[in-house]
Amino acid sequence: MILTVTLNTALDVTYRVPSLRAGASHRVSEVLERPGGKGVNVARVLAALGHEVTVTGFSGGLTGRVLRDRLTDVPRLTDALVPISGTTRRTVTLADERTGATTHLNEPGPDITHAEWSAFQEVYDDLLASASAVALCGSLPPGVPVGAYAGLVRTARAARVPVLLDTSGTALRRGVAGRPDIIKPNAGELAELTGFHEPLRATQDARRRGARAVVASLGAEGLLAVTPEGHWRATPPARLAGNPTGAGDSAVAGLLSALVEHRPWPDRLTRATALSAATVLSPTAGDFDRGTYEEFLTTVTVTGVATAA
């Protein structure tokens, strides 16, 4: 199975409102709730692709219970979340029906105790024994040590499980030092990590900081991958208009899906780009359209990049 780790899980709530105006009262026309946090989103896409997947991280309180209830509806997904005394956060997205704009409100995560962090590490060690790959995803909730990802990366490498890290800021900077097999920053995260704004230069710098391979997601321009096996750009067939929410998580799922099937890098990048594009075009945020995905598998272009490195 593929293991995804989401230390800061969330119950993602979407409110559809006719027209959002600051300072006004609004009747919410529709309320949608679904399990969230990046690793949970990655797992849902992997399960939809037919993979057995296990979700771990933390969950607690009433929102945690709603989240776990909803996970039982996902076929091929095993819930191995570690219970905590705190309450899983909510994120609220306000979807303006008039303009299509989305406004996001992210609650702070629950405080994780020392004992809960230790309990998680034991669960993680056990799960690695049967994992073909692991993704470490998203922000760290309060109480989890800032260097947490470096430790989790090292444990995975010691267990010979390929490990992908998808986070940002200090968590990424410290996590890269653990030498993950893959990181998947977006342009902003990559610039923050390296100080370089030119993607190719920044990507190469990120490798020097410890990442074995770097797959930078550059929005509408697709992916740039710098790996020991070669350097590539993967480009969707056209500029896509849609909702980019979850496109990065779908790219992670695509990379892992092809990795565990021992496909070479160009195939991994094709799958990641096609899934990401099919997510942007889906009417429901974070879902992907299967027909679009399969069509894009044949139309994404992957080209080698010459570098001085």
* CB < 8 Å & 24+ apart, contacts of 146-152: 146/170, 146/171, 146/174, 147/174, 147/175, 147/177, 148/7, 148/117, 148/175, 149/174, 149/175, 149/178, 149/180, 150/174, 150/175, 150/176, 150/177, 150/178, 151/121, 151/178, 152/5, 152/121, 152/124, 152/178
Minimum CB–partner distance for residue 197 and a copy of itself (Å): 21
Catalytic annotation, pick one of 166, 181, 205, 249: 249
CA distance 145 to 293: 38
CB 292 within 8 A of CB 240: no
By C-beta, is 106 or 284 nearer to a copy of itself?
Answer: 106
The binding site for a copy of itself (CB under 8 A) comprises 15, 17, 20-29, 31, 62, 65-66, 92, 94, 96, 99, 101-108
By C-beta, is 22 or 306 nearer to a copy of itself?
Answer: 22
Give how far Cα 138 sits from Cα of 167, 241, 281, 298, Å. Answer: 5, 25, 23, 30
Minimum CB–partner distance for residue 212 and a copy of itself (Å): 30
Torsion, Cα 265 269 271 277, to 10 degrees, reads: 180
Identify the DSSP state of 13.
Answer: E
Minimum CB–partner distance for residue 99 and a copy of itself (Å): 8
By C-beta, is 108 or 228 nearer to a copy of itself?
Answer: 108
DSSP characters over 63-97? HHHHHHHHHTTSTTEEE-PEE-SS--EEEEEEEET
List CB contacts of 197: < 8 A, sequence separation 6 or more. 191
Residue (of 64, 49, 37, 36) closest to 2 by Cα position:
49
Minimum CB–partner distance for residue 24 and a copy of itself (Å): 6
Q: Which residue has the tokens 């020097």?
A: 208
Minimum CB–partner distance for residue 56 and a copy of itself (Å): 23
By C-beta, is 91 or 299 nearer to a copy of itself?
Answer: 91
By C-beta, is 92 or 191 nearer to a copy of itself?
Answer: 92
By C-beta, is 85 or 301 nearer to a copy of itself?
Answer: 85
Minimum CB–partner distance for residue 257 and a copy of itself (Å): 28
- Residue 249 bears catalytic tag: yes
Catalytic (active-site) positions:
249
